[in-house]
Amino acid sequence: MSFNISAGGSQTSRTMFEFGRTHVVRPKGRHQATIVWLHGLGDKGSSWSQLLESLPLQNVKWICPTAPTRPVSLFGGFPCTAWFDAQDITEDAPDDLEGLDASAAHVANLLSTEPADIKLGIGGFSMGAATALYSATCHIFGQYGNRNPYLVNLSSVIGLSGWLPCSKTLRNRMEGSNETVRRAASLPILLCHGSGDDVVAYKHGEKSARVLSSAGFQNLTFRPYDGLGHYTIPEEMDEVCRWLTARLGLQGS
């Protein structure tokens, strides 16, 4: 699926990203929530769909898209699947707003056709977690970075081993808007990070949680995992299941 780099269909954009295959895990019970789950750099949607299908969440539909294959500055321009371009995997690196907007719009498009009574969420790992957190900021502002409207109403955001893009400007952008502050305070966010992560250092995940909390994201949970590297473990996914069940009011899980 092609998607305009400037989310929302701006006529001035030139670059088109070709998103890869999307894998869907349908709920085994009554459908209560749909969550788009975003893989990490160089991965694909099918890698996570197999794990998510095994979770004891009978009421959740999982949508696992695959990022576009694009040149990545971190790898000297070598192409791989990536939700946006990254020069470095930290919250201090320059932000690829066009790439972030395009991927956030692709995710929003996947959620836009879900029934009105279904709770919507976004989760991800590593770069996928960064994209999920960027989508959370689009949700509270009601617009993408390019100011096109963001129309999806999110009920949950999960980030594993990730970081917050555009963290330097978040707090200033929120000042003066009561609606933005209200949305931030009510959006449930779960962040998990391993202290042994040698790809996205633990300090970046911890700092991202601090920035979000100080900006007004009051419903944020940060879970550290002692010794965990840049991967997930059953204990972490158990936490995800418990958190989603509680925050979304899921039944029969």
163-221 tens-digit pLDDT: 999 998 888 888 778 889 999 999 999 999 999 999 999 999 999 999 999 999 999 99
Would you state the pLDDT for residue 76?
92
Q: Reply yes or no on whether the pLDDT at 248 is more than 90.
A: yes
Q: Could you say which DSSP state residue 189 is in?
A: E
Task: Give the rounded percent of residues in the chain with a pLDDT score beyond 70.
Answer: 92
Contact 36, 118 (CB under 8 A): no
Q: Sign of torsion, CA 61 225 134 79?
A: negative
In angstroms, the CA 179 to CA 185 distance is 10
Q: Reply yes or no on whether the pLDDT at 39 is more than 80.
A: yes
Band (pLDDT 50/70/90 cuts) for residue 252 is low
In angstroms, the CA 36 to CA 157 distance is 10
Single out the catalytic residue among 23, 39, 139, 230.
230
Single out the catalytic residue among 126, 135, 155, 161.
126
In angstroms, the CA 66 to CA 83 distance is 9
Averaged pLDDT for residues 37-51: 96
* Cβ-based neighbour number of residue 27 at 10 Å: 17
CA 69 to chain centre: 18
Q: Which residue has the higher pLDDT, 13 or 151?
A: 151
Give the pTM: 0.92
CA 182 to chain centre: 20
* Cβ-based neighbour number of residue 210 at 10 Å: 14
In angstroms, the CA 155 to CA 25 distance is 19
* Residue-wise pLDDT tens digits, 110-132: 999 999 999 999 999 999 999 99
Is domain 20-247 in CATH 3.40.50.1820, yes or no?
A: yes
Tokens standing for residue 82: 């990536």
Q: Reply yes or no on whether the pLDDT at 3 is more than 70.
A: no
Nearest to 59 by CA among 102, 34, 83, 29: 29
Would you state the pLDDT for residue 10?
37
Band (pLDDT 50/70/90 cuts) for residue 155 is very high
Whole-number mean pLDDT of the chain?
A: 91
197 is catalytic: yes
Single out the catalytic residue among 6, 139, 197, 208.
197
The full set of domain ranges for the chain reads: 20-247
- Residue appearing with tokens 């995992």: 225
Nearest to 211 by CA among 200, 222, 201: 222
Tokens standing for residue 48: 């996570």
Would you state the pLDDT for residue 253?
46
Nearest to 104 by CA among 81, 79, 126, 83: 83
At a CB cut-off of 8 Å and minimum separation 6, what does 27 contact? Answer: 58, 59, 60, 61
> Could you give the C-alpha distances from 224 to 79, 98, 124, 190, 207, in angstroms and in order?
32, 31, 16, 11, 12
* Residue-wise pLDDT tens digits, 48-71: 999 999 999 999 999 999 999 999
DSSP code string of 76-114: TTEEEE-SS--SSSSTTSPP-HHHHHHHHHHHHHHHTTS
